[in-house]
């Protein structure tokens, strides 16, 4: 995964408080500003840690260009009745139902197969409509925690390592992380990605327990678990940022860590 940004600032654009993440890349030849059209994020790459202020200044000079690109960002998809969201890489329809019998049988939220619905598979939720956003979000996080725990522990057995802790959070800068203490953390939004993508991220972070770097031995270990991991890696780069649209309130601002997006380049940089 990409490293966390060195600095995060904010820019007011069309009434929105847009985060601007600044990263250092010694291979960059100039300051680069990117707008990820899937996630609506702004990322600035600086060729030197000494040029962070210059990079932020350049990004602010591109305010009109950034606003134009952000205007192309697909709208957020809150968890409301009738919304279509991905779950394990497959589109699902959110359906609010008022059926106390079904609630007693399945709980406040449950999934229904396409064979039963005659159309898209559904995520059905009971209770007050005003709580639908929270209930569906909580249900997705429970599913993510179970799936990521299972896959992380599976890969830990394969690599002969043991995580000290596994947590699931709503992160915007990384899909997963591994601390020196062997504590693993993952984004719950991975449950919306195809299963092979979630599995790759789980293997990636567990492999860091062995190798806290991205060297050749690390990638060899990842390939041992996921022979075609490049496919999942490309999916995250191209489609991962779009997952931040789901469950967001209207007019929300999204941040992501992957994606080519659009970019502007400065002539300068040190």
What are the residue boundaries of the structural domains of the chain, listed by start? 7-74+250-265, 84-245
- Cα distances from 129 to residues 99, 133, 135, 247, in angstroms, run 13, 8, 10, 15
Per-residue model confidence as pLDDT tens digits over 212-227: 999 999 999 999 999 9
Q: Identify the pLDDT of residue 88.
A: 98
Residues forming beta bridges with residue 12, ordered by sequence position: 17
Give the chain's mean pLDDT.
Answer: 84
Per-residue model confidence as pLDDT tens digits over 116-164: 999 999 999 998 888 999 999 999 999 999 999 999 999 999 999 999 9
The span from the CA of 244 to the CA of 72, in Å, is 15
0.75 exceeded by the pTM? no
User: Could you give the angle at which helices 195-210 and 216-225 cross, rounded to 10 degrees?
Assistant: 140
Name the band, by pLDDT with cuts 50, 70 and 90, for residue 1: very low
The span from the CA of 243 to the CA of 111, in Å, is 19
Q: Identify the pLDDT of residue 261.
A: 40
Name the band, by pLDDT with cuts 50, 70 and 90, for residue 199: very high
Contact 166, 149 (CB under 8 A): yes
92 compared with 256, residue with greater pLDDT:
92
- What does the pLDDT average to over 199-222? 97
**CA-based torsion, 2, 234, 40, 67: positive or negative:** positive
Q: What percent of the chain has pLDDT over 70?
A: 83
Q: Identify the pLDDT of residue 262.
A: 45
Does the pLDDT at position 86 exceed 60?
yes
Q: Identify the pLDDT of residue 257.
A: 31
Contact 119, 133 (CB under 8 A): no
Best mean pLDDT range from 46-55, 127-136, 203-212: 203-212
Least confident of 20-29, 86-95, 160-169: 20-29
The span from the CA of 83 to the CA of 79, in Å, is 6
Q: Identify the pLDDT of residue 227.
A: 97
211 compared with 75, residue with greater pLDDT:
211
User: Could you give the angle at which helices 195-210 and 132-159 cross, rounded to 10 degrees?
Assistant: 50
Order of strands across the sheet with 84-87? 84-87, 90-96, 122-125, 109-112
Fold exhibited by the domain 7-74+250-265: Double Stranded RNA Binding Domain (3.30.160)
Residues forming beta bridges with residue 167, ordered by sequence position: 185
User: Could you give the angle at which helices 132-159 and 216-225 cross, rounded to 10 degrees?
Assistant: 110
58 compared with 70, residue with greater pLDDT:
58
Residues forming beta bridges with residue 196, ordered by sequence position: none
Helix (H) or strand (E) holding 200: helix 195-210
Contact 81, 67 (CB under 8 A): no
Q: What percent of the chain has pLDDT over 90?
A: 51
Q: How many helices (H) and strands (E) does the chain have?
A: 8, 12
- What does the pLDDT average to over 61-71? 85
Does the pLDDT at position 6 exceed 70?
no
220-224: long-range contacts, CB 8 A cutoff, minimum separation 24: 221/159, 224/158
- CATH node for 84-245: 3.30.2010.10
Does the pLDDT at position 210 exceed 80?
yes
Q: Identify the pLDDT of residue 37.
A: 61
Q: Identify the pLDDT of residue 105.
A: 67
Per-residue model confidence as pLDDT tens digits over 233-261: 999 988 888 888 898 754 333 333 323 34
């Amino acid at each position: 995964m990409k490293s966390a940004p060195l600095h995060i600032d904010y820019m007011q654009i069309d009434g929105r408080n847009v985060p601007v993440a600044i990263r250092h890349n010694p291979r960059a030849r100039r300051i680069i500003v990117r707008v990820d059209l899937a996630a609506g994020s702004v990322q600035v790459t600086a060729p030197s840690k000494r040029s962070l202020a210059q990079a932020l200044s350049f990004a602010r000079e591109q305010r009109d260009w950034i606003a134009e690109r952000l205007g192309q960002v697909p709208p957020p998809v809150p968890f409301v009745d009738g919304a279509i969201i991905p779950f394990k890489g497959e589109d699902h329809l959110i359906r609010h139902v008022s059926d106390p019998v079904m609630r007693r049988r399945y709980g406040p939220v449950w999934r229904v197969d396409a064979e039963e619905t005659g159309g898209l598979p559904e995520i059905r939720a009971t209770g007050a409509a005003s709580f639908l956003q929270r209930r569906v979000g909580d249900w997705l996080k429970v599913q993510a925690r179970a799936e990521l725990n299972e896959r992380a522990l599976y890969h830990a057995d394969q690599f002969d390592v043991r995580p000290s802790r596994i947590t699931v959070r709503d992160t915007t800068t990384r899909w997963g992380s591994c601390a020196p203490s062997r504590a693993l953390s993952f984004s719950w939004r991975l449950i919306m990605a195809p299963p092979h993508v979630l599995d790759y991220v789980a293997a990636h972070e567990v492999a860091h327990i062995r190798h806290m770097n991205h060297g050749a031995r690390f990638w060899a270990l990842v390939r041992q678990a996921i022979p075609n991991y490049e496919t999942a890696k490309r999916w995250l780069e191209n489609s991962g940022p779009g997952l931040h649209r789901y469950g967001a309130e209207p007019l929300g601002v999204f941040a992501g860590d992957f994606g080519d997006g659009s970019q502007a380049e400065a002539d300068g940089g040190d």
